């Protein structure tokens, strides 16, 4: 098949052919192309982030507009502009003496053998058009067992699909400043993972947005994962009273016994509880002497008794123990912590995950309590880490080990900052747990607060609007054409627009996020009347044949 035959077969004639925008006039592989707009195209009609196609002599390229600027053949025209009050003069000047220039980064080469990263550039005067639906589908796939519709490319009425199998192969992240729709987008991704990724989720739901129901701007309530997947999702809560007040159905109430907390769990709370180095050493000494009952013993005994007991192993001053007591007494305000829990919540979570059930852990009143969030999230994740490492290492022959697990964590900078990432299990998972079938989905408005080494391990990034230079740099670090993509990211809309780049997509692309929360959106996701209709059609086919 010749290149021309391939182009015709993959771009069938339609009533509305992609509009020609202009032609390539200069460029390079590293810095992108410059495209001179045709005189018939208004410079106001093209926007940053728009997909375009470039037809070279032997290849077709797919790229993205990153900048739009004005140019003139003579600088004098900018100093002494012509009188454009006369429509005829204005028409003559526009597109000839003055014109628009588009900056385009060409990322993909399309051919009859498939798609690949562009390793060359089209020649001078190659035609540039708006990308077609066929271009998008060829590059990003169509709806199938692994591709999930996440929105539409900017200014296009065609579905953009994300490869969810590739998404869960490595850790991923959703970033954006407050109010841009991070939670909205994360909710859509979680629905897709449950439907198509053959993976289970553990969601640390800091703000109670993913379990039974969530909210959107204006206060409207939207369905959470439990309403959409009642048989596949279990909701745990740290605060039963909060769940009752909200009228939310939960499956289990979490209690954690003092005897379940190990000294290693306290190390992650060092910054939150203002623990000193000597105080942390004392905790490890308590753990060595009293084992699982170290915290119960600490709360029951006075400083003098503890000092005498620990004196056999190390010199622990009363002042150190007094400061440690002030810090650890803050844990007594966490009502889910009890001397001895009636149920092993950690074991229950692990059992459900092994059975391919998804778990959402709601924090209720502790949504703004850093001690509760860091303690519970790291305690549970550390046990999961140990469990998955053992299961993966015990798998033999062609066994694949445990089902892939995606741990979703909001306000990720609390767990993955440069100061604590090396101490938390989340940092370990981001760096090395992919080989044990565990990855992260981090959600944060301050990506610059996350350890750069961890950010470098995030395979797919979905970034809503960011206006802080450090945050933008953190998201785009190590990305080819970073300077051009910064322009696209900075021009995103303030709501329901994002830039996706990395492992799960063949090239970066800006898009309008699909709707969520309306009856039509639920139907498009496969729930409600649409689902019933599909089942009815399937039953008819079974009865009467195709």
Tell me the pLDDT tens digit for each residue of 150-205: 999 999 999 999 999 999 999 999 999 988 889 999 999 999 999 988 899 999 99
**Helix and strand totals (H; E) in the chain:** 22, 23
- What pLDDT, on the 0 to 100 scale, is given for residue 58? 85
What's the rounded mean pLDDT across residues 262-291? 86
Residues 50 and 165 in one domain: no
> Is the predicted pLDDT of residue 144 greater than 80, yes or no?
yes
- What pLDDT, on the 0 to 100 scale, is given for residue 232? 93
325-362 pLDDT, tens digit per residue, is: 888 888 888 999 999 988 888 899 999 999 999 999 99
454-507 pLDDT, tens digit per residue, is: 898 899 999 999 989 999 999 999 888 888 999 999 999 988 999 999 999 999
Residues 366 and 476 in one domain: yes
CA distance 222 to 6: 45
> Is the predicted pLDDT of residue 278 greater than 70, yes or no?
yes
C-alpha distance from residue 58 to each of 55, 139, 317 (Å): 8, 18, 78
C-alpha distance from residue 139 to each of 51, 86, 360, 488, 500 (Å): 12, 46, 34, 20, 14
Residues 39 and 104 in one domain: yes
Residues 217 and 317 in one domain: no
Placement of tokens 């220039």 in the chain:
101
In a domain, 145, yes or no: no
Placement of tokens 């970034």 in the chain:
463
In a domain, 223, yes or no: yes
Residues 17 and 131 in one domain: yes
What's the rounded mean pLDDT across residues 249-260? 90
- What pLDDT, on the 0 to 100 scale, is given for residue 531? 46
> Is the predicted pLDDT of residue 146 greater than 60, yes or no?
yes
In a domain, 148, yes or no: no
Residues 384 and 428 in one domain: yes
- What pLDDT, on the 0 to 100 scale, is given for residue 86? 61
C-alpha distance from residue 163 to each of 125, 136, 200 (Å): 34, 13, 16
Report the share of the chain in percent with pLDDT over 90: 40
In a domain, 244, yes or no: yes
Tell me the residue ranges of DSSP E strands in 231-372. 233-237, 252-253, 256-257, 337-338, 358-362
Tell me the residue ranges of DSSP E strands in 59-171. 60-72, 98-111, 114-117, 127-130, 147-153, 160-163
For 89-111, b/e burial (b = at least 16 CB within 10 A) is: eeeebbbeebbbbbbbbbbbbbe
380-392 pLDDT, tens digit per residue, is: 888 888 888 888 7
CA distance 526 to 54: 36
Tokens, residue 451: 């350890």
Residues 509 and 391 in one domain: yes
Q: What share of the chain is helix, strand, coil (3-state, %, to 5)?
A: 40, 25, 35
In a domain, 89, yes or no: yes
526 pLDDT tier (thresholds 50, 70, 90) = confident
Residues 278 and 368 in one domain: no
Residues 317 and 406 in one domain: no
400 pLDDT tier (thresholds 50, 70, 90) = low
Look at strands 114-117 and 51-55 and give their pairing.
unpaired
In a domain, 317, yes or no: yes
527 pLDDT tier (thresholds 50, 70, 90) = confident
- What pLDDT, on the 0 to 100 scale, is given for residue 530? 41
> Is the predicted pLDDT of residue 512 greater than 90, yes or no?
yes
Residues 49 and 106 in one domain: yes
- What pLDDT, on the 0 to 100 scale, is given for residue 72? 82
Q: What is the DSSP string of 438-502?
A: EEEEEEES-GGGS-HHHHTT--EEEE-----HHHHHHHHTT-TTHHHHHHHHHTS-SSSEEEEEE
417: Cβ contacts below 8 Å, ≥ 6 apart: 449, 450, 451
In a domain, 234, yes or no: yes
Domain that includes residue 41, residue range: 3-140
The CATH number of whichever domain residue 202 belongs to comes to: 3.40.50.300
88-142 pLDDT, tens digit per residue, is: 555 656 656 788 899 999 889 987 778 888 989 999 999 999 999 999 999 999 9
Residues 130 and 190 in one domain: no
Q: What is the pTM of this model?
A: 0.85
Q: Give the residue from 285, 301, 333 where a domain finishes.
A: 333
- DSSP β-bridge partners for residue 152: 512
CA distance 174 to 185: 8
Placement of tokens 């998201």 in the chain:
475
What's the rounded mean pLDDT across residues 267-289? 85
Residues 306 and 434 in one domain: no
274: Cβ contacts below 8 Å, ≥ 6 apart: 327
> Is the predicted pLDDT of residue 45 greater than 50, yes or no?
yes
- What pLDDT, on the 0 to 100 scale, is given for residue 91? 61
51-93 pLDDT, tens digit per residue, is: 999 999 888 999 999 999 988 887 766 666 766 666 655 565 6
312 pLDDT tier (thresholds 50, 70, 90) = low
Q: Give the residue from 301, 333, 365 where a domain finishes.
A: 333
- DSSP β-bridge partners for residue 55: 60, 127
- Whether 454 contacts 427, CB under 8 Å: yes
Strand order across the beta sheet in which 460-463 lies:
160-163, 147-153, 509-513, 497-502, 460-463, 172-175, 438-444, 405-410, 200-205, 358-362, 233-237, 252-253
**Of the candidate ranges 74-88, 306-320, 472-486, 515-529, the one whose mean pLDDT is the lowest:** 74-88
Q: What does pLDDT average to over the chain?
A: 85
- What pLDDT, on the 0 to 100 scale, is given for residue 94? 65
Helix axis angle for 277-290 and 303-310, nearest 10°, is 70
Q: Give the residue from 105, 140, 175 where a domain finishes.
A: 140
The CA-to-CA distance between both ends of the chain, in Å, stands at 34
In a domain, 208, yes or no: yes
Closest C-alpha among 139, 131, 123 to residue 28: 123
The domain total for the chain is: 4
What's the rounded mean pLDDT across residues 406-428? 83
């Amino acid at each position: 098949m010749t290149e021309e035959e391939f182009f015709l077969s993959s771009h069938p004639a339609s009533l509305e052919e992609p509009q020609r925008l202009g032609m390539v006039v200069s460029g390079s592989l590293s810095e992108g192309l410059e495209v001179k707009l045709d005189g018939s195209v208004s410079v106001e009609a093209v926007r940053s982030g728009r997909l375009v196609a470039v037809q070279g002599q032997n290849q077709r390229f797919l790229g993205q507009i990153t900048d739009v600027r004005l140019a003139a053949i003579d600088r004098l025209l900018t100093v002494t502009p012509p009188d454009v009050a006369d429509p005829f003069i204005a028409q003559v000047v526009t597109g000839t003496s003055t014109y628009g220039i588009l900056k385009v980064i060409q990322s993909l080469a399309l051919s009859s053998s498939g798609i690949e990263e562009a390793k060359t550039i089209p020649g001078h005067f190659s035609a540039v058009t708006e990308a077609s639906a066929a271009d998008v589908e060829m590059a990003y796939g169509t709806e199938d067992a692994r591709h999930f519709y996440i929105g539409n490319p900017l200014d296009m009425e065609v579905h953009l699909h994300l490869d969810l199998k590739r998404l869960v192969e490595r850790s991923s992240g959703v970033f954006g400043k407050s109010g841009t729709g991070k939670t909205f987008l994360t909710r859509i991704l979680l629905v897709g993972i449950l439907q198509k990724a053959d993976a289970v989720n553990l969601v640390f739901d800091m703000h109670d947005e993913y379990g039974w129901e969530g909210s959107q701007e204006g206060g409207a309530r939207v369905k959470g994962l439990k309403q959409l997947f009642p048989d596949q999702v279990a909701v745990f809560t740290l605060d039963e009273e909060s769940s009752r007040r909200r009228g939310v159905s939960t499956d289990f109430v979490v209690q954690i016994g003092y005897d379940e907390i190990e000294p290693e769990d306290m190390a992650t709370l060092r910054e939150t509880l203002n623990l000193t180095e000597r105080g942390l050493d004392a905790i490890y000494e308590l753990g060595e002497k009293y084992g699982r009952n170290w915290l119960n013993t600490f709360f029951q005994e006075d400083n003098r008794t503890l000092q005498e007991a620990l004196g056999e192993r190390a010199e622990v001053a009363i002042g150190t123990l007094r400061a440690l007591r002030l810090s650890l007494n803050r844990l007594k305000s966490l009502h889910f912590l009890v001397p001895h829990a009636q149920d092993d919540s950690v074991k229950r979570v692990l059992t459900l995950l092994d059975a391919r059930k998804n778990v959402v852990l709601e924090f209720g009143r502790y949504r703004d309590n850093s001690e509760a969030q860091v303690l519970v999230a790291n305690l549970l994740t550390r046990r999961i880490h140990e469990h998955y490492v053992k299961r993966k290492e015990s798998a033999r022959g062609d066994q694949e080990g445990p089902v892939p697990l995606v741990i979703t964590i909001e306000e990720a900078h609390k767990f993955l900052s440069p100061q604590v990432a090396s101490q938390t299990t989340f940092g370990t998972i981001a760096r090395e747990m992919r080989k044990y079938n565990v990855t992260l989905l981090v959600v944060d408005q301050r990506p610059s607060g996350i350890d750069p080494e961890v950010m470098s391990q995030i395979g797919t990034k979905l970034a809503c609007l960011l206006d802080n230079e450090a945050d933008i740099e953190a998201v785009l670090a190590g990305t080819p054409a970073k300077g051009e993509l910064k322009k696209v990211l900075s021009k995103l809309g303030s709501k329901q627009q994002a830039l996706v780049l990395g492992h799960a997509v063949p090239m970066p692309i800006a898009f309008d996020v699909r709707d969520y929360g309306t009856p039509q959106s639920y139907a498009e996701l496969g729930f409600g009347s649409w689902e019933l209709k599909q089942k009815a059609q399937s039953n008819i086919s079974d009865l009467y044949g195709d």
